[in-house]
Amino acid sequence: MVIIMEEWTDTVNEIATVEAHKLASRFDTVMMEDIHGTMWEWILKNTAKVQSCIDDGAHKVLAFYLRTEGRKFSLAERAAAGGYKVDDLFFYTVKQLYDMLPIVFDHREWQPSGLRGDQGMPRSKGDPRHSSDAVAALADVSRALSLLPEDEYNVIIWRFKLDYTDDELGEVLEISPSAANKRVQRAVKRLQKELGGDDPFKEYTGSRTVQSNYDARAQQSATWEG
């Protein structure tokens, strides 16, 4: 049996309402009332955790829990309305980006390989460099690169296209080699953020769905030719 602590009901409801309103403004096809209701389902199943947050005055922590739960629900609702699944959303680890960036600028990597993905098969969850969705992954990263601020874009070009070492990059930027390495790390993290972040259920509110290698290659060829 679930016991609701009346002394914190109003406080919790206020936090849930604020977070539900924020999410509804970003997921314009999802009703605020539905998001709010989903949050309350979580609250009623996790009263001990809620009580702990209230006792500790950790309202921001509670807001994070509710926001995460509301985002999961909203992503699933958007996916259902769009005819895809949440699992179709694709995200990249920092390691994957470090591995992929050196070949993003190599046109040879975009040529047909005969793999299933070239015939329009859905993307897999495997290593983007070696799976049948390699071209679609390259297209993802290439598009995200175009959204970076100039200074971070240039850092990535110097490191991953021109193969600058930390020492060489430091000379260009007039900073130490260690500081240059940190610039590279920040640029890659910014790139990851443009690709949806490292955890879609924490911050992501978009709808980056799967793409076939065929479509990705055609799109990128148009960019190069233009």
Whether residue 69 is found in the same domain as residue 114: no
Whether residue 108 is found in the same domain as residue 71: no
Residue 64 in domain? yes
Residue 98 in domain? yes
Whether residue 168 is found in the same domain as residue 146: yes
| Whole-number pLDDT of residue 169 | 95
Residue 191 in domain? yes
Q: Alpha-carbon distance 214 to 11, whole Å?
A: 52
Whether residue 108 is found in the same domain as residue 169: yes
Q: How confident is the model at residue 206 (pLDDT cuts 50, 70, 90)?
A: low
Question: At which of 83, 107, 141 does a domain end?
Answer: 83
Residue 16 in domain? yes
Q: Alpha-carbon distance 122 to 103, whole Å?
A: 22
Question: At which of 20, 50, 83 does a domain end?
Answer: 83
pLDDT at residue 126 above 70? no
Whether residue 79 is found in the same domain as residue 100: no
Closest to 135 (Cα-Cα) out of 102, 101, 160, 112: 112
| Whole-number pLDDT of residue 203 | 59
Average pLDDT on 152-160 reads 95
Whether residue 136 is found in the same domain as residue 219: yes
Q: How confident is the model at residue 8 (pLDDT cuts 50, 70, 90)?
A: confident
Whether residue 101 is found in the same domain as residue 151: yes
| Whole-number pLDDT of residue 138 | 77
pLDDT at residue 120 above 60? no
pTM, full prediction: 0.56
Whether residue 71 is found in the same domain as residue 121: no
Whether residue 60 is found in the same domain as residue 100: no
Residues spanned by the domain of 69: 6-83
Alpha-carbon separation of residue 192 from 67, 70, 83, 94, 215 (angstroms)? 21, 23, 26, 7, 22
Residue 89 in domain? no
CATH number at 196 reads 1.10.10.10
Domains identified in the chain, total number: 2
Residue 1 in domain? no
| Whole-number pLDDT of residue 212 | 47
Whether residue 12 is found in the same domain as residue 105: no
Q: Alpha-carbon distance 205 to 201, whole Å?
A: 8
Question: At which of 60, 83, 106 does a domain end?
Answer: 83
Average pLDDT on 185-212 reads 72
Residue 18 in domain? yes
Residue 182 in domain? yes
CB-based contacts of 182: which residues, under 8 Å, 6+ apart? none
Whether residue 78 is found in the same domain as residue 100: no
Whether residue 212 is found in the same domain as residue 135: yes
| Whole-number pLDDT of residue 23 | 92
